[in-house]
Amino acid sequence: MTDYYTPGEVARRHGLSLDTLRYYEREGLLAQVERSPAGHRRYRASDVEMLDLVRCLRDTDMPIARLREFAELVRAGDHTIPQRIEVLVEHDAQLTARIAELRRRQEAIRHKIDYYRGVLAENRSDTEEEGR
Amino acid sequence: MTDYYTPGEVARRHGLSLDTLRYYEREGLLAQVERSPAGHRRYRASDVEMLDLVRCLRDTDMPIARLREFAELVRAGDHTIPQRIEVLVEHDAQLTARIAELRRRQEAIRHKIDYYRGVLAENRSDTEEEGR
DNA sequence: CTGAAGGGTGGAGTGCACTCCAGGTCAAGT
DNA sequence: ACTTGACCTGGAGTGCACTCCACCCTTCAG
């Protein structure tokens, strides 16, 4: 039992590739990850926590650049909490808007499906008439 | 008054660039658009209708490749309506799943916001105590 | 002692969906 | 006659987010 996670563990747990994990670190989304004497990464609970948030924001389409800004705020210390809240609140609003848009589009798609089903139903009854 | 739309009109109405419009045509998302004697495109009502659907599907993240397949079904004639329904129904399901995921992530983000607000509230009461 | 597993690096490559550009045509207005 | 604006073409370029590669190192089971 150790108090850190290996790259493989973290990657598996988050469904990310090792390359992506390293990429996120390079891009400044994660702070300086600790290393073992052999140079291997050791992810602490705090890294994993940050990664959870990163994944949450990435999965809701926050661009890497914005995530980096957010990560910089985190690294700058607790006095940036108001700005962090601002970022998250804005993203939350965008998310609400995006969900609403998806719903609207979904409605339209469903109408199209219904329309096509209507066409099929009509063709079917045409065939029945023919058969009479 | 004409019974077709110019590229500029179509682009404005759909919020697409002329380049994107041409790109979609090249990629086979739109059928053979008619041309004026001068070689300029003339979009018919049916093109605009197709474009509405294309936009609907693109805005809900259907990849261009899948859209091309769908467009090919449309061009192949009415006997492909069952397959078209299949495509749309599957996309609808993916959309439902995506919306659910976004909602879940949004919940998590909101929890984080609340957490940060809690930290702020605590700091504020600390300061008050100091001032006493 | 060996070889497989699991990591490390820098840098190049990929896939997607556009987006831009140079150089050209055409129609209409002044 | 000239300019302007809308459009045309083929092809190159862009931005994003990974993803892959070659080559190297260490640890550990058999």
- Are A6 and A71 in the same domain? yes
Does nucleic acid strand D have an atom less than 7 angstroms from the CB of B40?
yes
Question: Residue B30: which of B1, B12, B8, B10 has the closest Cα?
Answer: B10
Question: Given this model, what pLDDT does residue A2 score?
Answer: 66
**Domain edge (last residue) among A30, A58, A76:** A76
Q: What is the mean pLDDT of each run of 10 residues along chain A (132 residues)?
A: 86 95 96 91 95 97 98 97 98 98 98 97 80 66
Question: Residue B74: which of A131, A124, A112 has the closest Cα?
Answer: A112
- Are A41 and A16 in the same domain? yes
Question: Given this model, what pLDDT does residue B2 score?
Answer: 67
- Are B113 and B88 in the same domain? yes
- Is B35 or A3 the better-scoring residue by pLDDT? B35
- Are B91 and B66 in the same domain? no
Of B57, B95, B105, the CB nearest to A59: B105
Cα B40 to Cα B45: distance, rounded to the nearest angstrom: 16
Question: Given this model, what pLDDT does residue B91 score?
Answer: 98
- Are B33 and B96 in the same domain? no
A21: exposed, middle or buried (Cβ count in 10 Å: 0-12, 13-18, 19+): buried
φ/ψ of residue B127, rounded to 5: -65, -40
- Are B3 and B50 in the same domain? yes
B57-93 residue pLDDT tens: 999 999 999 999 999 999 999 999 999 999 999 999 9
Q: For residues B102-116, give the mean pLDDT.
A: 98
**Domain edge (last residue) among B28, B52, B76:** B76
Q: For residues B124-129, give the mean pLDDT.
A: 79
**Domain edge (last residue) among A30, A55, A76:** A76
- Are A52 and A84 in the same domain? no
DSSP state of A36: -
Domain holding A51: CATH number? 1.10.1660.10
- Are A58 and A122 in the same domain? no
- Is B2 or B28 the better-scoring residue by pLDDT? B28
- Are B95 and B40 in the same domain? no
Does the pLDDT at position B53 exceed 70? Answer: yes
DSSP conformation letters of A61-97? T--HHHHHHHHHHHHH-GGGHHHHHHHHHHHHHHHHH
- Are A45 and A66 in the same domain? yes
φ/ψ of residue A61, rounded to 5: 70, 25
**Which residues on A lie below 8 Å from B106 (Cβ)?**
60, 92, 95-96, 99
Q: State the total domains in chain A.
A: 2
Percentage of chain B modeled with pLDDT above 70: 97
Contact (Cβ atoms closer than 8 angstroms) between residue B60 and residue A106: yes
Contact (Cβ atoms closer than 8 angstroms) between residue B18 and residue B29: no
Give just the sign of the alpha carbon dihedral A66, B62, B14, B68.
Answer: positive
Q: Which of B88, B112, B119, B122 to mutate to test the interface with A (most CBs of A within 10 A)?
A: B112
- Are A123 and A87 in the same domain? yes
- Are B58 and B27 in the same domain? yes
- Is B3 or A106 the better-scoring residue by pLDDT? A106
Of B78, B84, B102, the CB nearest to A95: B102
- Domain extent at residue A37: 1-76
Task: Looking at A1-132, list the stretches that DSSP marks H as alpha helix, in order from N- to C-terminal side.
Answer: 7-14, 18-26, 45-59, 64-76, 81-131
